[in-house]
Amino acid sequence: SSTSWTRDEDFDLVLDAFKSSSKVQERWGLIVTGKGPLKGHYIRRFKEEGIALATAWVAPADYPLLLSVANLGLSLHTSSSKLDLPMKVVDMLGAGTPVASLDYPCLAELLENGKAGWTFNTSKD
Protein backbone atom coordinates (compact mmCIF):
# COMPACT_ATOMS: atom_id res chain seq x y z
CA SER A 1 0.00 0.00 0.00
CA SER A 2 1.05 3.57 -0.48
CA THR A 3 -0.19 6.11 2.01
CA SER A 4 0.24 9.57 3.46
CA TRP A 5 -0.19 8.03 6.93
CA THR A 6 -3.12 10.26 7.89
CA ARG A 7 -6.52 9.51 9.41
CA ASP A 8 -7.92 9.39 5.86
CA GLU A 9 -6.58 5.84 5.60
CA ASP A 10 -7.57 3.61 8.49
CA PHE A 11 -4.82 1.07 9.09
CA ASP A 12 -6.77 -0.14 12.13
CA LEU A 13 -8.85 -2.10 9.58
CA VAL A 14 -5.68 -3.91 8.49
CA LEU A 15 -4.57 -4.54 12.07
CA ASP A 16 -7.98 -5.97 12.95
CA ALA A 17 -7.99 -8.20 9.85
CA PHE A 18 -4.53 -9.58 10.62
CA LYS A 19 -5.38 -10.15 14.28
CA SER A 20 -8.58 -12.00 13.46
CA SER A 21 -6.85 -14.56 11.23
CA SER A 22 -3.81 -16.44 12.52
CA LYS A 23 -3.31 -17.94 9.04
CA VAL A 24 -3.02 -14.49 7.50
CA GLN A 25 -0.72 -13.28 10.24
CA GLU A 26 1.65 -16.25 9.79
CA ARG A 27 1.82 -16.09 5.99
CA TRP A 28 1.56 -12.43 5.04
CA GLY A 29 3.56 -9.31 5.53
CA LEU A 30 2.95 -5.73 4.52
CA ILE A 31 5.10 -3.26 2.62
CA VAL A 32 3.83 0.29 2.95
CA THR A 33 5.33 3.24 1.12
CA GLY A 34 4.91 6.87 2.00
CA LYS A 35 5.50 9.43 4.71
CA GLY A 36 3.13 11.11 7.12
CA PRO A 37 2.17 12.00 10.68
CA LEU A 38 0.80 8.61 11.80
CA LYS A 39 3.62 6.47 10.41
CA GLY A 40 5.38 6.01 13.77
CA HIS A 41 2.08 5.25 15.51
CA TYR A 42 1.24 2.42 13.12
CA ILE A 43 4.78 1.04 13.01
CA ARG A 44 4.51 0.61 16.81
CA ARG A 45 1.02 -0.90 16.59
CA PHE A 46 2.02 -3.48 13.97
CA LYS A 47 5.14 -4.37 15.96
CA GLU A 48 3.10 -4.78 19.17
CA GLU A 49 0.80 -7.21 17.34
CA GLY A 50 3.73 -9.15 15.85
CA ILE A 51 2.70 -8.35 12.28
CA ALA A 52 5.47 -8.06 9.69
CA LEU A 53 5.56 -4.50 8.38
CA ALA A 54 8.21 -2.93 6.19
CA THR A 55 8.07 0.75 5.36
CA ALA A 56 9.94 2.51 2.59
CA TRP A 57 10.14 5.66 0.55
CA VAL A 58 10.40 4.37 -3.00
CA ALA A 59 11.80 6.32 -5.93
CA PRO A 60 9.13 6.98 -8.57
CA ALA A 61 10.92 4.74 -11.08
CA ASP A 62 10.98 1.85 -8.58
CA TYR A 63 7.33 2.11 -7.49
CA PRO A 64 5.88 0.17 -10.47
CA LEU A 65 8.51 -2.54 -9.95
CA LEU A 66 7.54 -2.92 -6.30
CA LEU A 67 3.86 -3.13 -7.22
CA SER A 68 4.50 -5.73 -9.91
CA VAL A 69 6.02 -8.21 -7.44
CA ALA A 70 3.30 -7.80 -4.79
CA ASN A 71 0.74 -10.57 -4.32
CA LEU A 72 -1.96 -8.03 -3.52
CA GLY A 73 -2.27 -4.26 -3.50
CA LEU A 74 -4.17 -2.59 -0.68
CA SER A 75 -6.07 0.68 -0.89
CA LEU A 76 -7.57 2.27 2.20
CA HIS A 77 -8.34 5.48 0.30
CA THR A 78 -11.54 7.26 1.24
CA SER A 79 -13.05 10.17 -0.59
CA SER A 80 -14.72 13.00 1.27
CA SER A 81 -16.50 14.00 -1.94
CA LYS A 82 -17.20 10.34 -2.84
CA LEU A 83 -16.34 11.36 -6.42
CA ASP A 84 -12.57 10.92 -6.82
CA LEU A 85 -10.82 7.69 -7.69
CA PRO A 86 -7.62 6.54 -5.97
CA MET A 87 -4.60 6.78 -8.27
CA LYS A 88 -2.87 4.08 -6.21
CA VAL A 89 -5.50 1.60 -7.48
CA VAL A 90 -4.79 2.72 -11.05
CA ASP A 91 -1.06 2.16 -10.38
CA MET A 92 -1.68 -1.32 -8.93
CA LEU A 93 -3.94 -2.41 -11.76
CA GLY A 94 -1.44 -1.03 -14.29
CA ALA A 95 1.27 -3.18 -12.70
CA GLY A 96 -0.96 -6.25 -12.98
CA THR A 97 -1.42 -6.52 -9.22
CA PRO A 98 -4.84 -7.53 -7.88
CA VAL A 99 -6.30 -4.96 -5.49
CA ALA A 100 -8.23 -5.11 -2.23
CA SER A 101 -9.82 -1.71 -1.74
CA LEU A 102 -12.00 -0.05 0.82
CA ASP A 103 -15.31 0.44 -0.96
CA TYR A 104 -17.10 3.70 -1.58
CA PRO A 105 -19.74 4.79 -4.12
CA CYS A 106 -17.75 5.61 -7.29
CA LEU A 107 -15.03 2.97 -6.87
CA ALA A 108 -16.95 0.54 -9.09
CA GLU A 109 -16.03 2.78 -12.05
CA LEU A 110 -12.44 1.66 -11.55
CA LEU A 111 -12.54 -1.68 -9.73
CA GLU A 112 -15.25 -4.22 -10.40
CA ASN A 113 -15.50 -6.46 -7.35
CA GLY A 114 -14.26 -9.95 -8.17
CA LYS A 115 -12.61 -9.06 -11.52
CA ALA A 116 -9.19 -7.45 -10.92
CA GLY A 117 -9.61 -7.32 -7.18
CA TRP A 118 -12.05 -7.06 -4.34
CA THR A 119 -13.73 -4.40 -2.28
CA PHE A 120 -14.33 -4.47 1.44
CA ASN A 121 -16.09 -2.38 4.06
CA THR A 122 -14.91 -3.92 7.34
CA SER A 123 -11.91 -5.84 8.64
CA LYS A 124 -13.99 -9.02 8.53
CA ASP A 125 -14.51 -8.68 4.77
pLDDT in the model for residue 98:
96
* pTM, to two decimals: 0.88
Quick one: average pLDDT of 36-62? 92
23 vs 16, residue with greater confidence: 16
Tell whether the model's pLDDT for residue 26 goes beyond 80.
no
Q: For residue 106, what is the enclosing H or E element?
A: none
pLDDT in the model for residue 25:
55
Residues across the chain: 125
Render pLDDT for 113-123 as a digit per residue (tens, 0 to 9): 899 999 999 99
Render pLDDT for 51-88 as a digit per residue (tens, 0 to 9): 889 998 889 999 999 999 999 999 998 877 878 888 99
Q: How many CB atoms lie within 10 A of CB 19?
A: 14
First to last CA, the chain: 18
Quick one: average pLDDT of 8-24? 82
Spatial distance between the Cα atoms of 38 and 114, rounded to a whole number of angstroms? 31
Helix H segments across the chain? 12-20, 22-27, 39-48, 63-68, 87-94
